[in-house]
């Protein structure tokens, strides 16, 4: 596939008066030769003919994506970084709790689980990376994954903690989990009274009874 990316100048306008519209572009025709003209509202045949005769490029009633400012991009990056820090804090709190129970046999991994790989853990697992499509994780104990899951996971512990993973195949205590219910932060998944309970985990919720 071949592709190109362009930086396009866009002039957005609304036609309230056809004569004034034409007068404006007659007076400023050369300024808009390299612009894409975005016109909101009904476009008459007169205006269409005028724009085509002037060889001006235009779109009618189209919502173009708005470019984000550097500040907006920086704020988004900081928000994502903060969310990652929160997820790690929660995960570390769970590590402390699980590590105090030797019978859990906690395994900590910080590597991407690639397609085709199968991980079988006898005990608890804390995974600080993602699970790619086609990979499988099986645990007999609790499971915490701080990144996106696109593969399959099978957990037989008391709980799981997962972030939003719309492509994952998740089975907890032999019950399939509706992954559309996972919010875009760590979620605690438990089985209570034969019902799957999913609870979004916030920063202040780092300890459980």
41 and 108 fall within a common domain? no
Order the strands of the 35-40 sheet from edge to edge: 9-14, 35-40, 57-60
Query: Model confidence over 100-125: pLDDT tens digits?
Result: 544 457 888 889 999 999 999 998 99
Quick check: 74 pLDDT over 70?
Answer: no
User: Would you say residue 70 lies in a domain?
Assistant: no
Range of the domain at 33: 9-60
What CATH number did the domain enclosing 175 receive?
2.160.20.70
User: Would you say residue 65 lies in a domain?
Assistant: no
Query: Model confidence over 17-61: pLDDT tens digits?
Result: 888 888 888 888 788 888 888 888 888 888 888 888 888 888 888
51 and 85 fall within a common domain? no
39 and 130 fall within a common domain? no
Quick check: 134 pLDDT over 90?
Answer: yes
C-alpha 71/C-alpha 157 separation (Å) is 43
Distant-in-sequence, close-in-space partners of 160: CB < 8 Å, separation ≥ 6:
142, 143, 144, 145, 153, 170, 172, 188, 189
pTM over cut 0.85: no
**Total structural domains within the chain:** 2
Q: To which residue do tokens 């572009």 refer? A: 25
Give me the long-range contacts of 111-118 (CB less than 8 A, separation at least 24).
113/137, 113/151, 115/151
Q: Are 20 and 43 in contact (CB under 8 A)?
A: no
C-alpha 132/C-alpha 143 separation (Å) is 16
98-112, 149-163, 187-201 — most confident range: 149-163
C-alpha 179/C-alpha 198 separation (Å) is 10
User: Would you say residue 207 lies in a domain?
Assistant: no
More confident position, 81 or 5: 5
112 and 14 fall within a common domain? no
Q: What is the mean pLDDT of the chain?
A: 80
| Among 109, 181, 191, 179, CA closest to 146 | 109
| Among 177, 134, 135, CA closest to 155 | 177
pLDDT of residue 67: 63
Q: To which residue do tokens 């906690």 refer? A: 106
pLDDT of residue 72: 66
66-70, 83-87, 174-178 — most confident range: 174-178
Q: Are 155 and 171 in contact (CB under 8 A)?
A: yes
């Amino acid at each position: 596939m071949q592709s190109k990316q362009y930086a396009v100048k866009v002039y957005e306008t609304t036609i309230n008066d056809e004569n004034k519209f034409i007068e404006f572009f007659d007076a400023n025709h050369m300024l808009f030769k390299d612009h894409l003209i975005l016109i909101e509202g009904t476009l008459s045949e007169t205006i269409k003919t005028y724009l085509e005769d002037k060889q001006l490029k235009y779109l009618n009633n189209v919502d173009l994506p708005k470019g984000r400012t550097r500040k907006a991009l920086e704020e988004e990056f900081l928000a994502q970084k903060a969310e990652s820090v929160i997820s790690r804090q929660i995960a570390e709190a769970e590590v402390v709790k699980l590590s105090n129970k030797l019978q859990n046999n906690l395994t900590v991994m910080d590597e991407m689980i690639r397609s085709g790989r199968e991980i079988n853990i006898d005990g608890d697992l804390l995974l600080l990376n993602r699970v790619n499509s086609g990979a499988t994780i099986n645990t007999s104990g609790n499971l915490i994954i701080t990144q996106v899951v696109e593969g399959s996971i099978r957990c037989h512990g008391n709980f799981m903690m997962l972030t939003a993973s719309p492509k994952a195949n998740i089975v907890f205590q032999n019950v399939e989990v509706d992954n559309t219910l996972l919010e875009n932060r760590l979620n605690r998944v438990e089985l209570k009274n034969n019902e799957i309970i999913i609870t979004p985990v916030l920063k202040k919720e780092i300890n459980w009874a």
